[in-house]
Structure 1
Amino acid sequence: MRLVSKNPVVTADNRHVIRRTNPVSLSDFTGKRREATRPIEFRGDNFDRDFDSNTLFYDAVQVSNSKVALFAPPFFNLARDVAATTFISGAGTCKARIRHLDRHAQLWLDIPENAGPVQALGELGSFAFSVSPNVSEMFRDCRVIFTMSKDNPIEWILDWVRFNRDIHGADAVLIYDNGSSAYDSATLSAALRSIAGIRCSVVMEWPFKYGPQGANSWDHWDSDFCQLGAWEHARWRFLQHARSAMNSDIDELVLSNIGKSVFEAAEQSWTGLVRYRGRWIIGIDDDLRDDHGGPHRHADFSIFMPPKYQFSRLVTRRDANACLPKWTVVPSRCPTHAQWHVHSIFSWWASYFCTKDFSFRHFREIGSNWKYQRTNRVPFDPLIHKQDRALVQAFQRVDWEN
């Protein structure tokens, strides 16, 4: 048996902190591994390298005074052994209630606070782990922007925070850092602390494999566990008491068409959820300023990608250049059975609808091309390329220096 326990927090002050997980890896106590379900003929050259076969669970969190939740990749071939595992703590012995979600699994245990480390015994093997504290009080009544990031230039991250602060009233930040090597967590946390008007921030170290992507927009989305695990973890460890929370990537900025912030709209909505679509902003040869001496920034780009209409699988006409939706939610009003997903909230009827009151801009040039090459520029054509006036006006309202 090996007790997996890591220092859960590094802090510069009590408002801007770095958090770590208490994960369990299969290699710590057994020779068994998670086996992929994707047929071999549909696996790319790097599938085995990118697939997370070893993480049993990411973190164990005290989600309430009497319950602990373990957030995990799907168990697949390990499911029967996990279901038969017994968990022992200072409060006694219990079995887990298992939730099987999309590319994600959870174990819920009846364990009160301060019960100490938990030992697991079963056919899978014997292991022990510590429980991470619930940090939801830190974000109580905050309007939180949360994201996952890896090696994004800090300038991009700070501009993303400033925009959401000045346009939408965001006052708290939660960043899941997926193993950045360009800087450490302390550097990122210090940079977030320097931004005026941000009440608190957490850099959550999340050093797990992101996982192989699907073959296209529809097929073989079965092995990218990392972000879906992070979003459910964020919901239960950090955001239970947030006033509202916006799911947004660093290369995405939300615009309002109704003169109110997206947080305000979610809070005033009778469902507690606002979901909205996006449009690409591209770089073109005559649309680039090189006067800031650093990486290109969001405010350097304001040209729409032109629409590309085609028929979908359901034989409906759609814009193939449109972006999949994102969302902002009041966490306390989200059903407990629902799953926080990247582009929607699964198993909640309110998430089937999108509003036209908001839309987001997805910046092709604010990215590292980690997923595919997307920064090839084209010459400006006034018959095709139009400036996004609403975006430019929003840029003018942002204090980019503080």
Structure 2
Amino acid sequence: MFETLTLEPLRLPKDAPVQRRPLLRPAAQPANFAERYDFSTLAYSATFLPERGRIVLVCPKLLNLAGLLRGATFRSELGVHPVTALRRYRRHDELWVRARACPSRLSVVLDGEELSISVAVPDEAFAGKVVLSTLSRNNPLPWVRDWAAHYVASAGVEHVLFFDNGSTEYGLEDIRACLASVEGLSGATVVGVDVPYGPMAAKPPRGIALFLQLGIINTIRHRYFPHARGLIWCDVDEMLVAADGAGTLVEQAERSRLGYATARCHWRYAVDAAGEVPMHGDHIWRRDPETYSKEKWCITRGSPLARFGWDVHGVAGYLFNRVAMSRSHRFMHCAQISTGWKGQRIADAESLVRDAGTEALWQRAGLATSLGGGA
């Protein structure tokens, strides 16, 4: 099944007398801070977990809004839902409320304004499947298609869970159609979420106000992952490759006690040609010596780590990333597969060396090129 959905977050009105306080000090605020900071989202999602008798609301960092929600009265057609816990994580929070069954919506009155959010149960459409998931905005659809097709062919992916953060170049239906054209992919769920992603701080720690990605990852943990066989989290610019005979990273995770595996990310570059958009297959250049970005990961059903907070580069506070690191798998981090929102990743061609091993990998995978292999 190939479908589109839209998350409907719980948000304060724009003219609400109270908003989330700025997390960044003025000296650390970039020029686009007011546009990109999320002042008003209270929760991205609400999921009923029947085995716990609770609804979990996955929230941005609540900061000064925590007391407002902690003391609020949540209601539904089933009655009152008392708040039982507020759990704080690095870049997201979770508010837990009691429920004996799944209501259609959860409502709360704040400062005289009634706000509501829909409630869902863990999605059984993912049962037994290997899922590939990401959060994206305006990545060209040929990139998305090549990325998904590569994971279907080489990593055993059966379903793509694609979150789109308000793309302006195309709509959710265009993404759905793109993924439906991938041979061998059994389904895709395209979820629109149109809230601020967050600003990159001008000073370290630069990612402290990027709430959305962690909100989405932990929405996946509660709503989409519980019935899945395994889930790979990575960006559209990251291509997982394996040594000959190694099997898939999900299979490797399944064989481990942790039910979890990470793989190192190796930077690869394309040498630009004027007027051409690079593809993954053009990324056959590397620095000498080799350079790396932080690892990405996969997790499988039954993992003892699944119940802990998930993050961009791992789960459970990264405590097990090193011991779970695969020796037979790696991600190729394609530098020019980027819309440049974090800054340009262009490398001086004179500082690069052509990597024959990567070139052979892409040729075997049948990845498209647009630059003719560079100079």
Residue 302 of structure 2: which of 312, 315, 332 is its match?
332
Contact 2:311–2:317 under 8 Å retained in 1: no
CA distance change for structure 1 residues 364 and 54 in 2, over 3 Å: closer, same or farther?
A: same
CA distance change for structure 1 residues 16 and 185 in 2, over 3 Å: closer, same or farther?
A: same
Query: 1:392 maps to which residue?
Result: 360
TM-superposed CA distance for 1:47, in Å, is: 1.5
Matches within 5 A, 1:170-189: 170-189=157-176
Q: Distance in 1 between matches of 2:322 and 2:26?
A: 33
What amino acid is the match of 1:368? Answer: T
Query: 2:281 maps to which residue?
Result: 299
TM-superposed CA distance for 1:89, in Å, is: 2.1
Give the secondary structure class of the aligned counterpart of 2:246.
Answer: coil
Query: 2:152 maps to which residue?
Result: 165
Residue 238 of structure 2: which of 248, 252, 273 is its match?
252
TM-superposed CA distance for 1:239, in Å, is: 1.4
Range with bigger deviation, 256-265 or 385-394: 385-394
Per-residue Cα deviation, 1:44-66 (whole angstroms, up to 9, x for no partner): 22222211001111222234363
Asked if 1:101 corresponds to 2:89, the answer is yes
TM-superposed CA distance for 1:394, in Å, is: 4.9
CA distance change for structure 1 residues 36 and 130 in 2, over 3 Å: closer, same or farther?
A: closer
Give the secondary structure class of the aligned counterpart of 1:33.
Answer: coil
Contact 1:38–1:220 under 8 Å retained in 2: no
TM-score relative to the length of structure 1: 0.83
Aligned length: 365
**How high is the sequence identity, in percent, across the aligned residues?**
24
Matches within 5 A, 1:21-170: 21-27=7-13, 30-64=16-50, 66-96=53-83, 97-121=85-109, 124-170=111-157
Q: What's the C-alpha RMSD, in Å, of the aligned pairs?
A: 2.5
TM-superposed CA distance for 1:340, in Å, is: 1.0
What amino acid is the match of 1:34? Answer: R
Residue 316 of structure 2: which of 320, 332, 346 is its match?
346
Give the secondary structure class of the aligned counterpart of 1:350.
Answer: coil
Per-residue Cα deviation, 1:139-163 (whole angstroms, up to 9, x for no partner): 1111111011111111100100111
Per-residue Cα deviation, 1:278-298 (whole angstroms, up to 9, x for no partner): 11111226xx6x9xx974211
Give the secondary structure class of the aligned counterpart of 2:149.
Answer: helix
Q: Distance in 2 between matches of 1:19 and 1:355?
A: 34
TM-superposed CA distance for 1:16, in Å, is: 0.8
Q: Distance in 2 between matches of 1:45 and 1:130?
A: 32
Unaligned runs of 5+ in 2: 369-375
Residue 224 of structure 2: which of 233, 238, 252 is its match?
238
TM-superposed CA distance for 1:306, in Å, is: 2.4
Query: 2:256 maps to which residue?
Result: 269
Query: 1:370 maps to which residue?
Result: 341
CA distance change for structure 1 residues 140 and 294 in 2, over 3 Å: closer, same or farther?
A: farther
What amino acid is the match of 2:89? Answer: L
Query: 2:193 maps to which residue?
Result: 206
Asked if 1:20 corresponds to 2:2, the answer is no
Query: 2:372 maps to which residue?
Result: none
Q: Distance in 2 between matches of 1:269 and 1:174?
A: 25
Range with bigger deviation, 203-212 or 276-285: 276-285
Q: Distance in 2 between matches of 1:39 and 1:173?
A: 38
Q: Distance in 1 between matches of 2:10 and 2:315?
A: 27
Give the secondary structure class of the aligned counterpart of 2:320.
Answer: helix
TM-superposed CA distance for 1:170, in Å, is: 0.8
Q: Distance in 1 between matches of 2:37 and 2:222?
A: 25
Contact 2:263–2:331 under 8 Å retained in 1: yes
TM-superposed CA distance for 1:220, in Å, is: 4.5
Contact 1:158–1:191 under 8 Å retained in 2: yes
Unaligned runs of 5+ in 1: 1-14, 309-320
TM-score relative to the length of structure 2: 0.89
Give the secondary structure class of the aligned counterpart of 1:49.
Answer: helix
Give the secondary structure class of the aligned counterpart of 1:249.
Answer: coil
TM-superposed CA distance for 1:270, in Å, is: 1.5
CA distance change for structure 1 residues 99 and 163 in 2, over 3 Å: closer, same or farther?
A: same
What amino acid is the match of 2:312? Answer: V
Give the secondary structure class of the aligned counterpart of 2:166.
Answer: coil
Q: Distance in 1 between matches of 2:138 and 2:70?
A: 37
Query: 2:328 maps to which residue?
Result: 357
What amino acid is the match of 2:354? Answer: K
Range with bigger deviation, 89-98 or 154-163: 89-98
What amino acid is the match of 2:343? Answer: Y
Contact 1:29–1:126 under 8 Å retained in 2: no
TM-superposed CA distance for 1:355, in Å, is: 3.0
What amino acid is the match of 1:111? Answer: A
